[in-house]
Structure 1
Amino acid sequence: MTVYGIGLGPGDADLLTIEGKRLLEAADTVYASGELSQSIAADHVPAATIEELSFPMTDDDEQLRRAWRTAARRVAEANRVGDVAVVTLGDPNVYSTFGHLRRTLDVLYPDVEVEVIPGVSAATAFASALGVEIEAGSGIALREAIDGVAPVGPDRLVLFKVTDAETTAEKLAEAGYDVRFGRRLFMEGETVITDDPADLTDGGYFTLAYAEKRDLDREFLTDEFRTEESQSDELRTDEFRTEGQR
Protein backbone atom coordinates (compact mmCIF):
# COMPACT_ATOMS: atom_id res chain seq x y z
CA MET A 1 0.00 0.00 0.00
CA THR A 2 1.26 3.43 -0.99
CA VAL A 3 0.71 7.12 -0.36
CA TYR A 4 0.63 8.90 -3.71
CA GLY A 5 1.36 12.60 -3.91
CA ILE A 6 -0.53 13.53 -7.08
CA GLY A 7 -0.06 16.82 -8.92
CA LEU A 8 -3.39 18.14 -10.18
CA GLY A 9 -1.87 20.66 -12.58
CA PRO A 10 -2.31 24.45 -12.62
CA GLY A 11 -6.09 24.59 -12.26
CA ASP A 12 -7.86 23.02 -15.22
CA ALA A 13 -9.11 19.54 -14.32
CA ASP A 14 -8.29 18.35 -17.84
CA LEU A 15 -4.58 19.04 -17.24
CA LEU A 16 -4.27 16.18 -14.74
CA THR A 17 -1.95 13.54 -16.16
CA ILE A 18 -3.30 10.15 -17.23
CA GLU A 19 -1.24 8.42 -14.51
CA GLY A 20 -2.45 10.86 -11.88
CA LYS A 21 -6.06 10.30 -12.90
CA ARG A 22 -5.67 6.52 -12.81
CA LEU A 23 -4.19 6.49 -9.31
CA LEU A 24 -6.60 9.09 -8.00
CA GLU A 25 -9.59 7.06 -9.15
CA ALA A 26 -8.12 3.84 -7.70
CA ALA A 27 -7.20 5.27 -4.28
CA ASP A 28 -9.04 4.04 -1.19
CA THR A 29 -8.72 7.45 0.49
CA VAL A 30 -8.27 10.88 -1.10
CA TYR A 31 -7.00 13.93 0.77
CA ALA A 32 -6.91 17.50 -0.53
CA SER A 33 -5.76 20.78 0.97
CA GLY A 34 -7.89 23.77 0.05
CA GLU A 35 -11.16 24.27 -1.81
CA LEU A 36 -9.56 24.58 -5.24
CA SER A 37 -7.73 21.25 -4.95
CA GLN A 38 -10.91 19.63 -3.70
CA SER A 39 -12.97 20.99 -6.60
CA ILE A 40 -10.46 19.76 -9.21
CA ALA A 41 -10.26 16.32 -7.60
CA ALA A 42 -14.06 16.20 -7.54
CA ASP A 43 -14.05 16.22 -11.34
CA HIS A 44 -12.50 12.75 -11.15
CA VAL A 45 -13.82 11.16 -7.94
CA PRO A 46 -17.03 11.74 -5.92
CA ALA A 47 -16.73 14.88 -3.78
CA ALA A 48 -18.08 13.00 -0.76
CA THR A 49 -15.03 10.72 -0.78
CA ILE A 50 -12.52 13.60 -0.54
CA GLU A 51 -11.25 14.53 2.93
CA GLU A 52 -9.55 17.80 3.76
CA LEU A 53 -6.04 18.14 5.15
CA SER A 54 -5.37 21.43 6.88
CA PHE A 55 -2.13 23.28 6.16
CA PRO A 56 -2.51 26.74 7.74
CA MET A 57 -1.03 29.85 6.12
CA THR A 58 1.01 31.11 9.05
CA ASP A 59 4.54 31.98 10.13
CA ASP A 60 4.02 30.30 13.51
CA ASP A 61 6.49 27.40 13.41
CA GLU A 62 4.85 25.45 16.24
CA GLN A 63 1.39 25.75 14.68
CA LEU A 64 2.79 24.50 11.38
CA ARG A 65 4.53 21.53 13.01
CA ARG A 66 1.31 20.58 14.81
CA ALA A 67 -0.59 20.69 11.51
CA TRP A 68 2.03 18.59 9.74
CA ARG A 69 2.03 15.97 12.52
CA THR A 70 -1.76 15.78 12.48
CA ALA A 71 -1.85 15.42 8.69
CA ALA A 72 0.89 12.77 8.71
CA ARG A 73 -0.94 10.75 11.38
CA ARG A 74 -4.21 10.79 9.43
CA VAL A 75 -2.49 9.79 6.19
CA ALA A 76 -0.46 7.02 7.85
CA GLU A 77 -3.57 5.59 9.56
CA ALA A 78 -5.49 5.56 6.26
CA ASN A 79 -2.53 3.94 4.55
CA ARG A 80 -2.77 0.92 6.88
CA VAL A 81 -5.96 -0.16 5.12
CA GLY A 82 -5.38 0.99 1.54
CA ASP A 83 -3.73 3.28 -0.98
CA VAL A 84 -3.94 6.99 -0.25
CA ALA A 85 -3.95 9.87 -2.75
CA VAL A 86 -2.86 13.28 -1.48
CA VAL A 87 -3.60 15.80 -4.22
CA THR A 88 -2.00 19.18 -4.65
CA LEU A 89 -2.08 21.96 -7.21
CA GLY A 90 0.72 22.00 -9.75
CA ASP A 91 3.51 19.52 -9.02
CA PRO A 92 3.92 18.01 -5.52
CA ASN A 93 7.65 18.75 -5.50
CA VAL A 94 7.53 22.35 -6.77
CA TYR A 95 6.52 25.05 -4.25
CA SER A 96 4.04 22.67 -2.65
CA THR A 97 2.82 21.93 0.88
CA PHE A 98 3.17 18.25 0.03
CA GLY A 99 6.89 18.48 0.75
CA HIS A 100 6.19 19.21 4.43
CA LEU A 101 3.89 16.21 4.63
CA ARG A 102 6.36 13.89 2.91
CA ARG A 103 9.23 14.90 5.20
CA THR A 104 7.04 14.46 8.28
CA LEU A 105 6.00 10.99 7.14
CA ASP A 106 9.65 10.10 6.51
CA VAL A 107 10.53 10.95 10.13
CA LEU A 108 7.46 9.80 12.06
CA TYR A 109 6.21 6.95 9.86
CA PRO A 110 9.25 5.62 7.96
CA ASP A 111 7.40 2.43 7.01
CA VAL A 112 4.94 4.38 4.84
CA GLU A 113 5.84 4.16 1.15
CA VAL A 114 5.46 7.48 -0.67
CA GLU A 115 5.44 7.94 -4.44
CA VAL A 116 5.19 11.29 -6.20
CA ILE A 117 3.21 11.62 -9.43
CA PRO A 118 4.34 14.82 -11.15
CA GLY A 119 1.85 17.36 -12.39
CA VAL A 120 1.88 20.26 -14.83
CA SER A 121 3.40 23.10 -12.83
CA ALA A 122 2.67 26.80 -13.18
CA ALA A 123 6.44 27.08 -13.64
CA THR A 124 5.94 25.77 -17.17
CA ALA A 125 2.22 26.28 -17.81
CA PHE A 126 2.58 30.07 -17.51
CA ALA A 127 4.41 30.14 -20.86
CA SER A 128 1.40 28.77 -22.72
CA ALA A 129 -1.04 31.02 -20.85
CA LEU A 130 0.99 34.20 -21.45
CA GLY A 131 2.08 33.31 -24.98
CA VAL A 132 5.74 33.28 -23.99
CA GLU A 133 8.43 31.19 -25.69
CA ILE A 134 11.54 30.35 -23.70
CA GLU A 135 13.84 29.30 -26.49
CA ALA A 136 16.72 26.83 -26.18
CA GLY A 137 19.82 28.33 -24.61
CA SER A 138 17.88 30.93 -22.61
CA GLY A 139 18.64 31.66 -18.98
CA ILE A 140 15.61 31.81 -16.68
CA ALA A 141 15.20 31.96 -12.91
CA LEU A 142 12.30 30.98 -10.66
CA ARG A 143 11.77 33.22 -7.63
CA GLU A 144 9.20 34.20 -5.02
CA ALA A 145 8.05 37.83 -5.04
CA ILE A 146 5.79 38.22 -2.03
CA ASP A 147 5.04 41.69 -0.59
CA GLY A 148 6.54 43.69 -3.43
CA VAL A 149 9.85 41.83 -3.71
CA ALA A 150 11.40 42.03 -7.18
CA PRO A 151 14.47 39.81 -7.65
CA VAL A 152 16.59 40.83 -10.64
CA GLY A 153 19.67 39.55 -12.45
CA PRO A 154 18.91 36.92 -15.11
CA ASP A 155 17.54 37.91 -18.51
CA ARG A 156 14.23 36.20 -17.74
CA LEU A 157 12.40 35.66 -14.46
CA VAL A 158 9.31 33.77 -13.40
CA LEU A 159 8.04 35.25 -10.13
CA PHE A 160 5.56 33.42 -7.89
CA LYS A 161 3.32 34.69 -5.08
CA VAL A 162 3.20 38.24 -6.42
CA THR A 163 1.01 39.81 -3.74
CA ASP A 164 1.95 43.47 -4.45
CA ALA A 165 2.00 43.61 -8.24
CA GLU A 166 2.35 47.40 -8.51
CA THR A 167 5.46 47.60 -6.32
CA THR A 168 7.04 44.58 -8.00
CA ALA A 169 6.31 46.03 -11.46
CA GLU A 170 7.80 49.40 -10.53
CA LYS A 171 11.02 47.85 -9.27
CA LEU A 172 11.34 45.60 -12.32
CA ALA A 173 10.78 48.52 -14.70
CA GLU A 174 13.50 50.53 -12.95
CA ALA A 175 15.84 47.54 -13.35
CA GLY A 176 15.17 47.40 -17.11
CA TYR A 177 12.58 44.64 -17.37
CA ASP A 178 9.29 44.34 -19.21
CA VAL A 179 6.75 42.39 -17.19
CA ARG A 180 3.44 40.59 -17.68
CA PHE A 181 1.21 39.20 -14.97
CA GLY A 182 -1.00 36.14 -14.81
CA ARG A 183 -3.49 35.40 -12.06
CA ARG A 184 -5.23 32.08 -11.40
CA LEU A 185 -4.03 30.71 -14.73
CA PHE A 186 -6.10 27.85 -16.17
CA MET A 187 -8.73 28.31 -13.46
CA GLU A 188 -12.05 28.43 -15.29
CA GLY A 189 -13.63 31.87 -15.42
CA GLU A 190 -10.99 33.38 -13.12
CA THR A 191 -7.85 33.79 -15.24
CA VAL A 192 -6.45 37.30 -15.62
CA ILE A 193 -3.53 38.12 -17.94
CA THR A 194 -2.37 41.72 -18.01
CA ASP A 195 0.55 44.12 -18.49
CA ASP A 196 -1.04 46.58 -16.06
CA PRO A 197 -0.41 45.82 -12.36
CA ALA A 198 -3.31 48.13 -11.48
CA ASP A 199 -5.57 45.29 -12.61
CA LEU A 200 -4.23 43.20 -9.71
CA THR A 201 -4.66 45.32 -6.60
CA ASP A 202 -6.28 42.81 -4.24
CA GLY A 203 -3.14 40.82 -3.43
CA GLY A 204 -4.29 37.51 -4.91
CA TYR A 205 -2.05 34.62 -3.87
CA PHE A 206 -2.19 32.78 -7.21
CA THR A 207 -0.45 35.56 -9.15
CA LEU A 208 2.80 35.21 -11.08
CA ALA A 209 4.86 37.52 -13.24
CA TYR A 210 7.09 36.93 -16.23
CA ALA A 211 9.86 39.52 -16.50
CA GLU A 212 12.24 39.85 -19.44
CA LYS A 213 15.08 42.33 -19.93
CA ARG A 214 14.35 44.90 -22.59
CA ASP A 215 16.11 44.77 -25.96
CA LEU A 216 17.40 41.24 -25.64
CA ASP A 217 19.50 40.21 -28.62
CA ARG A 218 17.51 37.27 -29.95
CA GLU A 219 18.50 35.67 -33.22
CA PHE A 220 16.91 32.48 -34.57
CA LEU A 221 17.94 30.29 -37.49
CA THR A 222 14.28 30.36 -38.52
CA ASP A 223 14.63 34.11 -39.15
CA GLU A 224 16.24 33.13 -42.45
CA PHE A 225 12.88 31.77 -43.59
CA ARG A 226 11.50 35.30 -43.45
CA THR A 227 14.45 36.58 -45.46
CA GLU A 228 14.02 33.84 -48.04
CA GLU A 229 10.27 34.49 -48.27
CA SER A 230 10.88 38.23 -48.63
CA GLN A 231 13.34 37.59 -51.46
CA SER A 232 10.82 35.29 -53.15
CA ASP A 233 8.17 38.01 -52.91
CA GLU A 234 10.54 40.51 -54.54
CA LEU A 235 11.26 38.07 -57.35
CA ARG A 236 7.55 37.50 -57.94
CA THR A 237 6.93 41.26 -57.98
CA ASP A 238 9.72 41.73 -60.51
CA GLU A 239 8.07 39.10 -62.73
CA PHE A 240 4.81 41.07 -62.68
CA ARG A 241 6.69 44.23 -63.70
CA THR A 242 8.40 42.36 -66.54
CA GLU A 243 5.08 40.96 -67.77
CA GLY A 244 3.55 44.43 -67.66
CA GLN A 245 6.27 45.80 -69.88
CA ARG A 246 5.68 43.22 -72.59
Structure 2
Amino acid sequence: MTLYGVGLGPGEADLVTVRGKRVLENADVVYSPGRLSRSVALEHVSEETIGDLDFPMTKDEAKLRTAWKAAAAEIAPNAREGDAAFVTLGDPNVYSTFGHLRRTLEAFHPDVDLEIVPGVSAVTAFATALGVEIEAGAGLSLREAANGAAPTGPDRMILFKVTDAPATHEGLVDAGYDVTYGRRLFMEQGETLVTADPSALADRDYYTLAYAEKRDLEIDSATAAFARDGGSVDGSSASDDHERT
Protein backbone atom coordinates (compact mmCIF):
# COMPACT_ATOMS: atom_id res chain seq x y z
CA MET A 1 0.00 0.00 0.00
CA THR A 2 1.11 3.57 -0.60
CA LEU A 3 1.16 7.14 0.62
CA TYR A 4 0.68 9.53 -2.29
CA GLY A 5 1.89 13.10 -2.15
CA VAL A 6 -0.63 14.84 -4.40
CA GLY A 7 -0.05 18.30 -5.84
CA LEU A 8 -3.38 20.12 -6.06
CA GLY A 9 -2.17 22.95 -8.29
CA PRO A 10 -2.40 26.65 -7.42
CA GLY A 11 -5.87 26.49 -5.88
CA GLU A 12 -8.61 26.09 -8.47
CA ALA A 13 -10.19 22.65 -8.16
CA ASP A 14 -10.26 22.00 -11.92
CA LEU A 15 -6.48 22.46 -12.17
CA VAL A 16 -5.89 19.21 -10.28
CA THR A 17 -4.38 16.74 -12.74
CA VAL A 18 -6.36 13.74 -13.99
CA ARG A 19 -3.93 11.44 -12.15
CA GLY A 20 -4.24 13.44 -8.95
CA LYS A 21 -8.02 13.32 -9.09
CA ARG A 22 -7.95 9.55 -9.61
CA VAL A 23 -5.62 9.03 -6.65
CA LEU A 24 -7.80 11.18 -4.38
CA GLU A 25 -10.97 9.37 -5.38
CA ASN A 26 -9.40 5.96 -4.68
CA ALA A 27 -7.61 6.86 -1.43
CA ASP A 28 -8.91 5.47 1.85
CA VAL A 29 -7.96 8.68 3.65
CA VAL A 30 -6.81 12.08 2.38
CA TYR A 31 -4.70 14.16 4.74
CA SER A 32 -4.71 17.94 4.51
CA PRO A 33 -2.18 20.24 6.19
CA GLY A 34 -4.31 23.39 5.98
CA ARG A 35 -7.61 25.09 5.22
CA LEU A 36 -6.92 25.99 1.58
CA SER A 37 -5.69 22.57 0.50
CA ARG A 38 -8.61 21.02 2.37
CA SER A 39 -11.15 23.10 0.45
CA VAL A 40 -9.66 22.04 -2.90
CA ALA A 41 -9.55 18.37 -1.89
CA LEU A 42 -13.22 18.52 -0.87
CA GLU A 43 -14.11 19.22 -4.50
CA HIS A 44 -12.95 15.67 -5.26
CA VAL A 45 -13.58 13.62 -2.10
CA SER A 46 -16.18 13.48 0.65
CA GLU A 47 -15.56 15.20 3.97
CA GLU A 48 -15.58 11.80 5.71
CA THR A 49 -12.41 10.91 3.79
CA ILE A 50 -10.44 13.95 5.01
CA GLY A 51 -7.96 13.54 7.82
CA ASP A 52 -6.92 16.91 9.22
CA LEU A 53 -3.45 17.40 10.66
CA ASP A 54 -2.39 20.10 13.10
CA PHE A 55 0.76 22.03 12.25
CA PRO A 56 1.64 25.01 14.48
CA MET A 57 2.31 28.37 12.86
CA THR A 58 5.75 28.82 14.35
CA LYS A 59 9.43 28.91 13.47
CA ASP A 60 10.32 26.96 16.62
CA GLU A 61 12.16 23.95 15.16
CA ALA A 62 11.50 21.75 18.19
CA LYS A 63 7.74 22.30 17.95
CA LEU A 64 7.78 21.74 14.20
CA ARG A 65 9.73 18.49 14.51
CA THR A 66 7.26 17.28 17.14
CA ALA A 67 4.31 18.14 14.89
CA TRP A 68 5.78 16.37 11.84
CA LYS A 69 6.69 13.31 13.89
CA ALA A 70 3.12 13.13 15.18
CA ALA A 71 1.76 13.54 11.64
CA ALA A 72 3.97 10.74 10.35
CA ALA A 73 2.85 8.47 13.19
CA GLU A 74 -0.79 9.20 12.30
CA ILE A 75 -0.35 8.59 8.57
CA ALA A 76 2.01 5.59 8.55
CA PRO A 77 -0.47 2.89 9.73
CA ASN A 78 -3.06 3.94 7.15
CA ALA A 79 -0.44 3.96 4.38
CA ARG A 80 0.62 0.43 5.35
CA GLU A 81 -2.91 -0.97 5.43
CA GLY A 82 -4.37 0.92 2.46
CA ASP A 83 -3.80 3.90 0.19
CA ALA A 84 -3.47 7.33 1.75
CA ALA A 85 -2.89 10.74 0.20
CA PHE A 86 -1.31 13.90 1.53
CA VAL A 87 -2.43 16.95 -0.43
CA THR A 88 -0.56 20.18 -0.89
CA LEU A 89 -1.06 23.25 -3.03
CA GLY A 90 1.27 23.49 -6.01
CA ASP A 91 3.70 20.60 -6.49
CA PRO A 92 4.79 18.29 -3.63
CA ASN A 93 8.49 18.67 -4.48
CA VAL A 94 8.60 22.44 -5.09
CA TYR A 95 8.76 24.51 -1.88
CA SER A 96 6.14 22.27 -0.33
CA THR A 97 5.20 21.17 3.17
CA PHE A 98 5.22 17.61 1.88
CA GLY A 99 9.02 17.58 2.02
CA HIS A 100 8.93 17.71 5.83
CA LEU A 101 6.57 14.74 5.95
CA ARG A 102 8.59 12.72 3.44
CA ARG A 103 11.84 13.18 5.37
CA THR A 104 10.14 12.32 8.67
CA LEU A 105 8.61 9.15 7.25
CA GLU A 106 11.95 8.11 5.78
CA ALA A 107 13.56 8.56 9.21
CA PHE A 108 10.91 6.91 11.43
CA HIS A 109 8.76 4.80 9.09
CA PRO A 110 11.05 3.70 6.24
CA ASP A 111 8.73 0.82 5.31
CA VAL A 112 6.02 3.19 4.03
CA ASP A 113 5.93 3.32 0.24
CA LEU A 114 5.79 6.85 -1.19
CA GLU A 115 4.70 8.07 -4.61
CA ILE A 116 4.56 11.65 -5.87
CA VAL A 117 1.80 12.97 -8.12
CA PRO A 118 3.06 16.28 -9.59
CA GLY A 119 0.80 19.30 -9.62
CA VAL A 120 0.55 22.53 -11.61
CA SER A 121 2.65 25.07 -9.76
CA ALA A 122 2.21 28.82 -9.52
CA VAL A 123 5.88 28.89 -10.47
CA THR A 124 4.82 28.00 -14.03
CA ALA A 125 1.16 29.07 -14.04
CA PHE A 126 2.21 32.67 -13.32
CA ALA A 127 3.23 33.13 -16.96
CA THR A 128 -0.34 32.61 -18.14
CA ALA A 129 -1.87 34.63 -15.32
CA LEU A 130 0.45 37.61 -15.90
CA GLY A 131 0.44 37.38 -19.69
CA VAL A 132 4.19 36.77 -19.78
CA GLU A 133 6.01 34.65 -22.35
CA ILE A 134 9.29 33.08 -21.36
CA GLU A 135 10.65 32.36 -24.81
CA ALA A 136 12.86 29.44 -25.76
CA GLY A 137 16.43 29.93 -24.62
CA ALA A 138 15.56 32.52 -21.95
CA GLY A 139 16.89 32.12 -18.42
CA LEU A 140 14.52 32.29 -15.46
CA SER A 141 15.49 32.14 -11.78
CA LEU A 142 13.21 31.20 -8.88
CA ARG A 143 13.83 33.13 -5.67
CA GLU A 144 12.12 33.63 -2.32
CA ALA A 145 11.29 37.21 -1.34
CA ALA A 146 9.67 37.05 2.07
CA ASN A 147 9.69 40.01 4.46
CA GLY A 148 10.78 42.60 1.91
CA ALA A 149 13.72 40.73 0.45
CA ALA A 150 14.73 41.85 -3.06
CA PRO A 151 17.11 39.27 -4.55
CA THR A 152 18.84 40.32 -7.75
CA GLY A 153 21.17 38.93 -10.39
CA PRO A 154 19.49 37.13 -13.32
CA ASP A 155 17.74 38.98 -16.16
CA ARG A 156 14.41 37.38 -15.26
CA MET A 157 13.18 36.18 -11.88
CA ILE A 158 10.01 34.75 -10.45
CA LEU A 159 9.76 35.67 -6.77
CA PHE A 160 7.41 33.91 -4.37
CA LYS A 161 6.27 34.63 -0.81
CA VAL A 162 6.32 38.37 -1.55
CA THR A 163 4.90 39.42 1.81
CA ASP A 164 6.15 43.02 1.75
CA ALA A 165 5.67 44.16 -1.84
CA PRO A 166 6.57 47.86 -1.32
CA ALA A 167 9.95 47.01 0.23
CA THR A 168 10.71 44.32 -2.35
CA HIS A 169 9.69 46.69 -5.15
CA GLU A 170 12.03 49.43 -4.01
CA GLY A 171 15.02 47.10 -4.02
CA LEU A 172 14.19 45.62 -7.42
CA VAL A 173 13.59 48.98 -9.10
CA ASP A 174 16.87 50.32 -7.73
CA ALA A 175 18.58 47.25 -9.23
CA GLY A 176 17.10 48.00 -12.66
CA TYR A 177 14.07 45.68 -12.85
CA ASP A 178 10.52 46.16 -14.08
CA VAL A 179 8.16 44.22 -11.83
CA THR A 180 4.65 42.80 -12.13
CA TYR A 181 2.87 41.26 -9.15
CA GLY A 182 0.27 38.53 -8.95
CA ARG A 183 -1.75 37.66 -5.88
CA ARG A 184 -3.71 34.44 -5.44
CA LEU A 185 -3.32 33.43 -9.08
CA PHE A 186 -5.64 30.59 -10.13
CA MET A 187 -7.00 30.39 -6.58
CA GLU A 188 -10.67 30.10 -5.70
CA GLN A 189 -10.06 31.51 -2.23
CA GLY A 190 -9.57 35.27 -2.01
CA GLU A 191 -9.31 37.93 -4.70
CA THR A 192 -6.95 37.50 -7.64
CA LEU A 193 -4.95 40.65 -8.40
CA VAL A 194 -2.39 41.42 -11.08
CA THR A 195 -0.68 44.80 -10.82
CA ALA A 196 2.54 46.73 -11.28
CA ASP A 197 1.67 48.95 -8.31
CA PRO A 198 3.17 47.62 -5.08
CA SER A 199 1.01 49.95 -2.97
CA ALA A 200 -2.01 47.88 -4.03
CA LEU A 201 -0.36 44.99 -2.17
CA ALA A 202 0.54 46.80 1.02
CA ASP A 203 -1.32 44.22 3.11
CA ARG A 204 0.76 41.09 3.54
CA ASP A 205 -0.37 37.97 1.72
CA TYR A 206 1.74 34.81 1.57
CA TYR A 207 0.22 33.92 -1.82
CA THR A 208 1.78 36.85 -3.68
CA LEU A 209 4.47 36.43 -6.31
CA ALA A 210 6.31 38.77 -8.65
CA TYR A 211 7.87 38.60 -12.08
CA ALA A 212 10.97 40.79 -12.39
CA GLU A 213 12.66 41.48 -15.72
CA LYS A 214 15.71 43.65 -16.29
CA ARG A 215 14.73 47.01 -17.72
CA ASP A 216 15.56 47.47 -21.44
CA LEU A 217 16.33 43.78 -21.77
CA GLU A 218 16.88 42.97 -25.45
CA ILE A 219 14.77 39.96 -26.42
CA ASP A 220 15.43 38.31 -29.77
CA SER A 221 12.47 35.95 -30.04
CA ALA A 222 12.47 33.28 -32.73
CA THR A 223 9.74 33.84 -35.32
CA ALA A 224 8.24 32.23 -38.38
CA ALA A 225 6.69 35.48 -39.62
CA PHE A 226 6.59 36.36 -43.32
CA ALA A 227 7.36 39.71 -44.91
CA ARG A 228 4.40 41.87 -46.02
CA ASP A 229 5.09 41.42 -49.75
CA GLY A 230 4.45 37.71 -49.49
CA GLY A 231 8.11 36.80 -49.37
CA SER A 232 9.53 34.95 -46.43
CA VAL A 233 12.03 36.44 -44.03
CA ASP A 234 14.90 34.85 -45.99
CA GLY A 235 13.71 36.44 -49.25
CA SER A 236 12.10 33.41 -50.90
CA SER A 237 8.47 33.56 -51.97
CA ALA A 238 5.57 31.54 -50.68
CA SER A 239 5.34 29.79 -54.06
CA ASP A 240 9.02 28.82 -53.78
CA ASP A 241 8.22 27.17 -50.45
CA HIS A 242 5.25 25.42 -52.05
CA GLU A 243 7.41 24.08 -54.88
CA ARG A 244 9.84 22.64 -52.35
CA THR A 245 7.12 20.63 -50.58
TM-score normalized by the length of structure 1: 0.90
Tell me which residue corresponds to 1:53. 53
- 1:200-211, aligned counterparts within 5 Å? 200-211=201-212
Tell me which residue corresponds to 1:171. 171
Q: Any conservation in 2 of the 1:55–1:97 contact (CA below 8 Å)?
A: no
Q: Which amino acid aligns with 1:127?
A: A
Q: Secondary structure at the match of 2:25?
A: helix
Higher helix share: 1
Q: Which amino acid aligns with 2:204?
A: G
Q: Any conservation in 1 of the 2:12–2:186 contact (CA below 8 Å)?
A: yes
Tell me which residue corresponds to 2:91. 91
Tell me which residue corresponds to 2:115. 115
1:79-124 residue CA offsets vs partner (Å, 9 max, x unmatched): 2321001000000000000000000000100000000100001110
- 1:234-245, aligned counterparts within 5 Å? none
Q: Cα distance, 1:56 vs. partner?
A: 2.5
Distance 1:161 1:150 in 2: 11
Q: Cα distance, 1:57 vs. partner?
A: 2.8
Q: Which amino acid aligns with 2:223?
A: T
Tell me which residue corresponds to 1:240. none
Q: Percent identity?
A: 63
Greater shift in the superposed pair: 186-195 or 85-94: 186-195
Q: Which amino acid aligns with 1:7?
A: G
Q: Which amino acid aligns with 2:197?
A: D
Tell me which residue corresponds to 1:100. 100
Q: Any conservation in 1 of the 2:135–2:221 contact (CA below 8 Å)?
A: no
Distance 1:141 1:58 in 2: 28
Tell me which residue corresponds to 1:152. 152
Q: Any conservation in 2 of the 1:38–1:47 contact (CA below 8 Å)?
A: no
Tell me which residue corresponds to 2:233. none
Greater shift in the superposed pair: 83-92 or 187-196: 187-196
Distance 1:116 1:88 in 2: 11
Distance 2:195 2:174 in 1: 19
Matched, 1:33 2:29: no
Q: Cα distance, 1:220 vs. partner?
A: 2.3
Q: Secondary structure at the match of 2:116?
A: strand
Q: Which structure 1 residue ranges, 4+ long, deviate > 2 Å from structure 2?
A: 54-57
Q: Which amino acid aligns with 1:97?
A: T
Tell me which residue corresponds to 2:235. none
Distance 1:17 1:221 in 2: 31
1:10-45 residue CA offsets vs partner (Å, 9 max, x unmatched): 011101011110011000011011111001000001
Greater shift in the superposed pair: 150-159 or 182-191: 182-191
Tell me which residue corresponds to 2:198. 197
Distance 2:143 2:222 in 1: 31
Matched, 1:137 2:151: no
Greater shift in the superposed pair: 190-199 or 95-104: 190-199
Q: Any conservation in 2 of the 1:4–1:117 contact (CA below 8 Å)?
A: yes
Tell me which residue corresponds to 1:71. 71
Q: Cα distance, 1:202 vs. partner?
A: 1.2
Question: Across the two proteins, how many residue pairs are aligned to each other?
Answer: 230
Distance 1:222 1:30 in 2: 47
Greater shift in the superposed pair: 115-124 or 52-61: 52-61
TM-score normalized by the length of structure 2: 0.91
Q: Cα distance, 1:224 vs. partner?
A: 4.6
Q: Any conservation in 1 of the 2:150–2:172 contact (CA below 8 Å)?
A: yes
Q: Secondary structure at the match of 2:81?
A: coil
Q: Cα distance, 1:223 vs. partner?
A: 7.2
Q: Which segments of 5 or more consecutive residues in structure 2 lack a partner in the other structure?
A: 231-245
Q: Any conservation in 1 of the 2:55–2:67 contact (CA below 8 Å)?
A: yes
Q: Any conservation in 1 of the 2:2–2:80 contact (CA below 8 Å)?
A: no
Q: Which amino acid aligns with 1:93?
A: N
